[in-house]
Amino acid sequence: MSWTVRQGSRMAAGVVLSLFISFDAAAADYATKGTYAITLPPRTAGYGTLTDAFGADATLTVDGYALRGRMIAVSDDTIYLQKNFGSSQWLVVARIDLTMDPSFVRISPGGSTIALGIGYYQPLYLAPSSVLSVTSPPNLSTHPQVKRFDASYYDAVWRDARYLLVNSDGPSGSRVYAVDTQLADPASAFIPIVPDIPGASAGIAIDRYGNLITGVGYGAATGEIKIWPASALAAALLPGADPLPYETTGHVVASGILSAASLGVDADNNLLVGGGDVFGTTGDYGHAAIVSSNVLARVLSGGAPADESAPGDHTILAPDPCANDDFTSVRYVESLKMIVVSANLASMPPACEPMENGAGGAATTVQLYFPPDAPDSDGDGIPDGADNAYLTPNPDQTDSDGDGFGDVADADFDNDGAVTKKDLSILVDAFGSAEGDPEYDHGVDLDRDGKIDWSDFAAFQRRWGSTAPFY
């Protein structure tokens, strides 16, 4: 199958040459369904607002909000839950006593535990997702079910529901170690995995086959990414096992693609790479990259690493038209088949700055990318991950009251969280009106036909007694 992807090569600071090339590639074209922007919660301190999302196997519901596929965000002293897919509205679900400069937030397989690195030289938190609350957000710093312990960290990833793998500074360069989260005191028995990475900390990921991926965030080999087979990782976790020396184990996947500071994999096992070139080593910034799953398979078999000039190996996602961000983060939401890429839109064409620091703004924009087979439950052409009423067709995505719920599914006209007699009264007041009439209320026109009549009343009846969220 032939895909069309955007290839970018940096010509000068803030300038990207775009080519459109058709080729056969393993990496899906994430622009096929269009792209959608949302804004993360604002921050007053720290470098950025970080996100993760609950996986396809998450079954927990928090105050009526099913967590499957839903994003959380972390900034300042607050943990937020995304109010609705595709929404820039966020609900406070927890707080901590400290102002965070968050390093990572990672949700375990199954969604039962949230691992949160709140900032350098600050504790690492392991919080049960079940303690989150929209109606009464807990204080994670004092909650008896939350484990808090001292640890060095930069990024982390769950191998499974038990082991959290952490990339951190080491005695020389950086390292990867494992945290057994089932221990009463997880800090009592860190397990060395890769103890001697020759450079600053990088992102870390586990691919679809359990293989470990990490690399060099900055140093003589900035952006070098390596992969270790799942069998080698499993062996290193055994009691008394030897760790994996960086130089003599693993396979090089890529050299100098961004800074490898943010890593992940998608459903097809394509490697997602973020980071940036604030120190001028690789020449890459202002975008994220997709390294084909074919490359991962190839290098594990002893083949050559990714070639940036080969479109079948490497493609680009550039959410910022200036392509001048010094750092991009990248996350994958499995149940929605959605890639989330950060963008610092402090400058826009034609007045693009040479380079923009991610800490420059109070809020971060993220761009949502979808492949052709991204789920679209209501068939309205809007992928679920961007749809403000993903179970009710509404291609226009109108949200008159700006509450994050599409009008077509939102019969809560007074925004009190429930469809009650008060909402019926608002419908009655507008009944019989049409666009242009003074009593016409756009948000009450549930079928979007320009008039409020028995069709809207029937739609209202179907929503009677329901509570937020509204889909």
- pLDDT per residue as tens digits for the range 139-154: 999 999 999 999 999 9
Question: What pLDDT was estimated at residue 46?
Answer: 74
CB 129 within 8 A of CB 114: yes
- pLDDT per residue as tens digits for the range 261-276: 999 999 999 999 998 8
* pLDDT higher than threshold 70 for residue 3: no
Residue with tokens 């998608």: 266
* pLDDT higher than threshold 90 for residue 414: yes
Question: What pLDDT was estimated at residue 19?
Answer: 24
Q: How many CA atoms lie within 13 A of 254 on its CB side?
A: 34
More confident site: 363 or 453: 453
Pick the CATH number of 390-471 from 1.20.5.440, 3.30.200.20, 1.10.1330.10, 3.40.50.1820: 1.10.1330.10
Extract the tokens encoding 349. 């064409």
Extract the tokens encoding 285. 């910034």
Q: Which of 67-81, 322-336, 408-422 has the lowest mean pLDDT?
A: 322-336
- pLDDT per residue as tens digits for the range 83-129: 999 999 999 999 999 989 899 999 999 999 999 999 988 999 999 99
Q: Write the DSSP assignment of 200-254 as a string of letters.
A: B---EEE-TTS-EEEE-SBSTTTT-EEEE-HHHHHHHTSTT-----TTTSSEEEE
Task: Give 426's contacts (C-beta < 8 A, 6+ positions apart).
Answer: 413, 414, 441, 444
Each domain of the chain, given as residue ranges in start order, spans: 2-386, 390-471
- The neighbour count for residue 465, using CB atoms within 10 Å, is 9
Question: What pLDDT was estimated at residue 17?
Answer: 25
> Please, is 51 exposed, middle or buried when counting C-beta atoms within 10 Å of its C-beta (0-12, 13-18, 19+)?
buried
More confident site: 311 or 394: 394
Question: What pLDDT was estimated at residue 32?
Answer: 66
In CATH, the number for domain 2-386 is 2.120.10.30
Question: What pLDDT was estimated at residue 30?
Answer: 80
* pLDDT higher than threshold 70 for residue 260: yes
Q: What's the pTM value of the predicted model, to 2 decimals? A: 0.90
Task: Give 321's contacts (C-beta < 8 A, 6+ positions apart).
Answer: 348, 349, 352
